[in-house]
Amino acid sequence: MDWNRRPTSPLAPHELIPVAQPKKRPAQKRSWEQLPENAVRRYRLPENLYGKICAIATLNNISNVSHVAIQLVDYALYQHYQGNPEFQLSTRPNPQGRKFLLAWKAEQSNWNPPQNKLAPDFERGKQKRKEKVLPGEYGGKIKDVGLRLSTTRLRLKDLADETYLPISDTLTFLLLKAVIAYENGLFSLELKQIPA
């Protein structure tokens, strides 16, 4: 079978037929978008947790997921600093990294920490990059999510620094606990008109 015998069209389909293009993201030119505290930051969140937050946004007719995330994190931070035991982060050292790891309750009892290798690995070639997976409840897929957490981000960062945890792990914990509280009806979201 000779593929070279196939005639090649002088014109590509997009020159003859209208081709659908994905909608382009609008340029971030609004003044509030350009403020440093409103910049989009990327966080590594479990995919199903992010899905739950999106679902909460959809249910409450909120088009911006970041607004929901801010409310959830604010609630969780408030509970944390009020001393609610459900919202206290427990950590454990990570022998493979500088920062600590989040210790979920389920695995605190029989946790077997990974050990550092005594001898260096002499395998040649490209090393496989280890996928960082949060332990405990969330062993699922991790997704890079862009959120504008505004000033809440600074408070989140403070807590992450206090507990010596990566900021994404801290955010995951707070969002998860807040989502559970939301699902249990401990708090609800209310839409308010922003005064012009």
Binding residues (CB under 8 A) for another protein: these are: 1, 3, 6-9, 12-14, 16-23
13 three-state secondary structure: helix
Smallest separation (angstroms) from another protein to the CB of 171? 24
**65 residue type, one letter:** V
DSSP states along 98-110: SS-EE--HHHHTT
d(CA 129, CA 163): 26
Nearer to another protein, 8 or 127 (CB): 8
Count of beta carbons in the 10 Å neighbourhood of residue 102: 22
Smallest separation (angstroms) from another protein to the CB of 142? 15
Smallest separation (angstroms) from another protein to the CB of 141? 9
C-alpha angle with apex 59: 154 to 30, nearest 5 degrees? Answer: 45
Are 72 and 187 in contact by the 8 Å Cβ rule? The answer is no
Nearer to another protein, 7 or 85 (CB): 7
79's tokens: 């509970």
Smallest separation (angstroms) from another protein to the CB of 53? 15
Smallest separation (angstroms) from another protein to the CB of 9? 7
Nearer to another protein, 63 or 127 (CB): 63
Nearer to another protein, 4 or 115 (CB): 4
Nearer to another protein, 17 or 191 (CB): 17
**40 residue type, one letter:** V
